[in-house]
Amino acid sequence: MSHPIYIALIPLIPLACFLILGLFGRKYFSNSAGIIGTLGLLTSTLLSLSTAYEYLFVSGKVNGVFQKIEVVKFTWLQFSPGVSIDLGLLIDPITVMMLVVVSFVSLMVHLFSLGYMKGETRFATYYAFLGLFTFSMLGLVLSSNIFQIYLFWELVGVSSFLLIGFYFEKPSAVAASKKAFIVTRFADLGFLIGILVLSFYSHTLDFGVLIERLTTSGSPYLTAINAASFLGVSALTWGLLLVFMGGAGKSAMFPLHIWLPDAMEGPTPVSALIHAATMVVAGVFLVARLFPVFALSDPAALNVVMYTGAFSAFFAAVIACTQTDIKRVLAYSTMSQIGYMMFALGVSKYNGEDGLGYMGSMFHLFTHAFFKSLLFLGAGAVIHMVHSNEMKDMGGLRKLMPITHISFLIACLAIAGIPPFSGFFSKEEILMASFESNKLIYAVALLTSGLTAFYMFRLYYSIFWSKPADAHHHGHHGEGTLSMKIPLILLAILAVVAGFVPIASWITADGTAIHSSIPITFSILPVTLAVAGILLATRLFKTSNELPERIAIQMGGLYKAASRKFYIDEVYLFVTKKVLFNLIGRPAAWFDTNIVDGFMNLLAKLTASLSELIKGYQSGKVQDYALYFFGGIAGLIIAFIYLWK
C-alpha cells in the first residue's frame, strides 16, 4: 500500500487551508483565499485519485477479494483496555470511492465559488469553512473506528452549520443553520447511544474488530448481544437502529428530514457540496460501513432501513412536485434519491450476487454525486443571474445561459433515469435488486422514478422555457465567469459517463466482483414511466398555461398538504415550542427560582427572624440581665432539689 503520509495528506491539506485562511485570511489573503483553497483541494483530489488507482488496480485485491486495509492507527483516547478511540485511516472500496467523490465535488465547488462568491466581504472565511467541511468529510470516510467516525460526524455537523449560516445577518439563514444543527444533533444522540450499546457488548470500538465479533456466528460477543434485550428487541437491533438514527439524521430520512429544505439558505455552491454529494450521503455510508453486521446478524434492523428509505424516497418526491423554490425542489429530490440508496441497502444481502442492492446503492451514490451537484451549481448560476429562487421569476433562460441550460438538461435526464445517462444505470441496479427481494419496494421505487422525471422536468421547463426570453431584463449579467462554467461542463461530462464506470467489479458487499447484467426487457417499464413523466411535464410546463393551476385546485387538500410539506414542520414546532419550552423548560426555571431557591431564601429568613427573636434578650439593660441571672439560679436550685436523687 502507498505511504500512509500520502493518504493522511488528503484530509490534512483542507485542514491546513482552514487554519491558514481562518487565522490569517482576513488580513493577508482576502483576495487570494479562493486560489489557495482551490489549489489545496486540487492536490487532495489528485492524491485521492492516485490512492483509488493504487487500491483498485495494484494493491487492494488479494485472491480476487478487496481487502480492508488499515494504513495507520494510533490510540487517541483510551477508555478501558481494548476500548479506545483510535485515529486511523481505513482504506476499502467504499472509502476510495468516497474520497474521489468528496474531493472532486469539493474541488468543483471551490472552483465555482471563485466566481459565485466574488466580492463577498468574508470571502476568505468562506473558503476557510469550505476547507473545514472538506477536512471533516474526508476524515469521516477514512475513519477506522466507530467513535472516530462520530467525532468527524460532529465536525461535519458544525462546519455545515457554519456554512449554512454564512449569511449570518439574515435571520432566516441563522434559523436554518440552527435547525440543521439541532435536528442532526438530536439524531446523533441515537448514534452515540448506539455506539455505547454496541461497544458494551463487543468490547471494542474498532470497525474491523467490531464487525468480526458481531458477525461470526457463535462468537461470545454475538451471543451476548443477542441474548440481551430491552422491550422485546435485542440489544443488537437497538444498537444498530440507534446508529441508523444518526445516519437518518444526516441523510435527511423521514422524519428527521426537516432541516434539509431550510438548509438551502446557505450559499448555493455550499448546497452543491453538502446537500448533494457529501454530508447527506454520510448516513448511507455509515450503514454501508456496518453493512456486514446489518446483513449477516440482524435482518430486522436492515428492514427498518429499507422501509425508512423507501418511504422517504416516495414522500419527498411527492413534495418535490409542489415546491416553487428551485433549491427546495432540489433538496426534496436529494432526500428522495438518498431514500433510493437507503432502501437499496435494505433489500440487499451480503454474499456475492445477492449483494446487488449494496452495489446499486453505492453506484447510485456515485452517479448521484455528479448530477446532483451539477443541478445545484446550475441552480446557483441561475440564481446568480435572476437574483431569486422562485420559479415564477424565471423562464426562457435557455438562450441567455446556453451552457447552464445544456448541462442542467443532462443532469435532469440523468436523474430521470434515461439511458445512456449515468442515473439510468445505477437506478436499474437498484430496481433489479428490489424486484428480486421485495415487490412492494419495487413498486414504490418505480412510482417514485416516474415522479422524479416529472418534477425534474417541471423544474427544467420552468427555468429554461415557459416564458419568452425577453421577459427578463437581467441579460446584462451574462452567464458567469469561466470558473463557474468549467465545473458545469466537467460535471456534465461525468453525469453522462459515470454510468460506465465498472462499480460492480469494485464495490460490493463482500469485496468480490459481481457480474450484473440487466435484461433490456426489465428496463422497458422504468424507462417508459420516466418518459411518461417527462412528457407530462412537457405538456404542463413547457409553455406558460393555466393547466397546472387548475390541476392543483382540483387536487385540493392533497396538493395543499404536499406543498406545505405535510405539516411536518408544524409538528416539530409544536413539540419544541409547546412541549420542550412550555412544558419542561418553563416549569424547570420556575421551580428553580420559586421552590429550590425559595426554600433557601426561606431558610435564610427563618434564621434571620429567629435571631431577631433571640436578639431581644440581649437588650443591654442591666435589670434584664439581673432578672435572667436570678431566674437562672432559681431554676437551677429547683432543678437540683428535685433531680438530685
Partner 1 sequence: MNLTLFLLFPLFTALAILFAQNLKQIRSIALAGSLLQLGLAVKLLLAYNAERAAGNPAQMLFEYVQDWFAPLHLQYHIGVDGISIAMILLTSFIVVAGILVSWSMETLSKEFFFLLILLSFGAYGFFISLDIFTMFFFLEVAVIPKFLLIGIWGSGKKEYSAMKLALMLMGGSALIMVGIFGMYFSSHTSTGAHTFDLLLLSKMNIPIATQKLFFPFAFIGFGIFTAIFPFHTWVPDGHASAPTAASMFLAGISMKLGGYGCLRVATFLMPDAAHEYSWLIILLATIAIIYGAFATMMQTDLKYINAYSSVSHCGFVLLGIGMLTKTSITGAVMQMVSHGLMTALFFAAIGMIYSRTHTRMVAQLGGLLKIMPFISTVFVIAGLSSLGLPGFSGFVSEMTIFMGSWQNPDNLSRLATILACASIVVTAVYILRAAGKTIMGPITNSHYEQLTDASWNEKFAAVVLISGILIVGMAPFLLIDLIQPGTEIIINKLGAAISH
Contact with partner 1 (CB under 8 A) among 18, 66, 104, 181: 181
Contact with partner 1 (CB under 8 A) among 185, 467, 474, 542: 185
For the chain, the first-to-last Cα distance in angstroms comes to: 100
CB 276, min distance to partner 1, A: 25
CB 92, min distance to partner 1, A: 23
Under the binding rule (CB under 8 A), the answer on residue 231 touching partner 1 is: no
**DSSP code of residue 349:** -
Nearer to partner 1, 191 or 358 (CB): 191
Nearer to partner 1, 157 or 533 (CB): 157
Cα(618)–Cα(478) distance, rounded to whole angstroms? 94
CB 135, min distance to partner 1, A: 11
Give me the residue label for grid cell 431558610: 603
- In terms of Cα–Cα distance, which of 503, 258, 498 is closest to 373? 498
Nearer to partner 1, 186 or 307 (CB): 186
Judged by CB under 8 A, the chain residues 304 through 333 that form the site for partner 1 are none
Judged by CB under 8 A, the chain residues 159 through 178 that form the site for partner 1 are 161, 165, 168-169, 171, 174-175, 177-178
Cα(314)–Cα(325) distance, rounded to whole angstroms? 19
Strands 229-230 and 65-66: unpaired
Nearer to partner 1, 439 or 586 (CB): 586
**DSSP code of residue 466:** B
566, burial (CB in 10 Å: exposed 0-12, middle 13-18, buried 19+):
middle
Cα(302)–Cα(354) distance, rounded to whole angstroms? 15
Which neighbouring-strand residues pair with 91? 69
Q: Which stretch binds partner 1 (CB under 8 A): 57-65, 191-199, 351-359, 448-456?
A: 191-199
Q: Which stretch binds partner 1 (CB under 8 A): 59-67, 331-339, 589-597, 636-644?
A: 589-597
- In terms of Cα–Cα distance, which of 451, 361, 375, 441 is closest to 412? 375
Under the binding rule (CB under 8 A), the answer on residue 581 touching partner 1 is: yes
164 in Cβ contact with 260 (< 8 Å): no
CB 268, min distance to partner 1, A: 20
Q: Count of residues for the chain?
A: 645
600, burial (CB in 10 Å: exposed 0-12, middle 13-18, buried 19+):
exposed
Under the binding rule (CB under 8 A), the answer on residue 199 touching partner 1 is: yes
CB 266, min distance to partner 1, A: 13
Give me the residue label for grid cell 423548560: 585
158, burial (CB in 10 Å: exposed 0-12, middle 13-18, buried 19+):
middle
Which neighbouring-strand residues pair with 310? none
CB 224, min distance to partner 1, A: 11
Alpha helices by DSSP H, listed for 29-92, are 33-53
Nearer to partner 1, 402 or 585 (CB): 585
Alpha helices by DSSP H, listed for 54-92, are none
Nearer to partner 1, 171 or 218 (CB): 171
Judged by CB under 8 A, the chain residues 17 through 76 that form the site for partner 1 are 26, 75-76
Q: Work out the number of other CB atoms within 10 angstroms of the CB of residue 532.
A: 13
CB 199, min distance to partner 1, A: 7
Nearer to partner 1, 228 or 518 (CB): 228
Contact with partner 1 (CB under 8 A) among 6, 186, 311, 572: 186
Cα(65)–Cα(47) distance, rounded to whole angstroms? 24
Nearer to partner 1, 199 or 337 (CB): 199
Under the binding rule (CB under 8 A), the answer on residue 497 touching partner 1 is: no
Nearer to partner 1, 67 or 576 (CB): 576
Contact with partner 1 (CB under 8 A) among 152, 244, 358, 371: 152
Q: Which residues lie near partner 1 (CB under 8 A)?
A: 26, 75-80, 83, 85, 147, 151-152, 154-155, 158, 161, 165, 168-169, 171, 174-175, 177-178, 181-182, 185-186, 189, 192-193, 196, 199-200, 580-581, 584-586, 588-589, 591-592, 596-597, 599-600, 604
